[in-house]
Amino acid sequence: MKTFRLFLIFLTLLIGSQPILADEADYRVGDGDVLKVTVYGHPDLTTTVRVSGGGTITFPLVGLLEVKGLTVDQVAEKVGTSLSDGYIVNPQVSVFIEEFRSKRVTIIGQVEHPGLYELSGSTTLLELISKAGGLTKDFGNNATIHRKNGAGGEQEEIITIDLKNVLQNGAMALDVPILDGDSVVVAKAATFYVTGEVKKADAYKYEEGTTVIKAITMAGGFTNIAARGKVKVYRKINGKEHVAEKVSMDMPILPDDVIVVPESFF
C-alpha cells in the first residue's frame, strides 16, 4: 500500500506539472491531425490544414505533400524544401499541431477502470494508467504493451515495462509513449499465503527476496501458541505438491507458496 500511495502522489505531480504537448516534438503526424503551417515573412502562406486519410496535406504553391509519420520539425523541413524549389529563397517554416487525431487504445488488468480509451496527443504509459483511474492494490511489477507492426499489422511486438523500476526508482525512460492501437496489460502481483498460528493469516503480495520470517512478519507474527520450529512450506513443483518441514526462517519463498505455522502442543 505504501508503494501504491507513493505512486498516486508521484503521478499527480507528474501529470500536473507537464502539459499534454510536452512530447509534441516527438509526435508523429497522422491522418486527421490539424496542422498550422507558418512561413516567416509570408503571412499569405499561413495555412491551417487537416491531414487527409491518405496522410497528405495540400499547401499553397507546392500542392500535395505526404506528411504521415513525420514529426512537426520534419514536416516544416519538407514544406521549406518544397518552397525553396523556385518559390522562396531560404524559407523559414514552422509547424504546430492545432488538433490531434484520436487514437484508440485498450488497457486491462490491474487498473481501476479497464477498457477502451480514445486519446489525443502524446500520451505515455503512466498518463494512460492515470486516465484509467490508477493502479489497483494488487498490481504487479510489470506491464506489457502489445503493439501491431508491419504492413496491415500482421506482426505483434510485445514491450515489457518494469513498473516497479518506474515508480520506485524514477526510471522515466521506461514511461514510453502509447501509440494508436496499443493494448496494455497491467499484470496482477504474484502472491503467497500464510496460515495457521499467525495473527493475520491471508494472501500477501510477493516480492523477490522474501523469506519465511519476512512473510510471517507481514502476517503479524506468531501467535502465543505457535510451534515456531515446525513451520512448513507447501510448494508446487512441476504440478506436484511438495512439503518442506521445519524450514529455516531465512529460506526464500516463491510465488504461490503456502506457509503453514502449526500449533504447539507443549
Kindly list the distances between the CA atom of residue 221 and the CA atoms of 200, 201, 231, 263, in Å, as whole numbers in the listed order.
Answer: 8, 10, 13, 14
Classify residue 178 as left (phi > 0), alpha (psi -120 to 50) or beta.
beta
Rounded CA gap, 261 and 196, in Å?
5
pLDDT of residue 260: 97
Give me the domains of the chain, ranges plus CATH numbers: 28-99 (3.30.1950.10), 101-188 (3.10.560.10), 191-261 (3.10.560.10)
Length of the chain: 266
pLDDT of residue 219: 96
Contacts 24+ apart (CB under 8 A), 19-25: 20/120, 20/121, 20/122, 20/123, 21/97, 21/121, 21/122, 22/122, 23/122, 23/124, 23/177, 24/72, 24/97, 24/121, 24/122, 25/71, 25/72, 25/73
pLDDT digits (tens, 9 = 90+) for 133-149: 999 988 998 999 999 87
Task: Please tell me the distance from the alpha carbon of residue 260 to that of residue 199, in angstroms, as a whole number.
Answer: 12
Which of the four pLDDT bands, split at 50, 70 and 90, describes residue 2? very low
Burial 227-239 (b: 16+ CB within 10 A, else e): beebbbbebeeee
Give residue 215's identity as a one-letter amino acid code.
A
Q: CB of 146 within 8 A of CB of 158? A: yes
Q: Does residue 30 contact residue 69 with C-beta atoms inside 8 Å?
A: yes
Give the pLDDT confidence of 12-27 residue by residue, as tens digits: 434 333 333 334 566 7
> Structure pTM?
0.60
Q: Across residues 158-169, what is the average pLDDT?
A: 88
Tell me the pLDDT band of 28, cut-offs 50, 70 and 90: confident
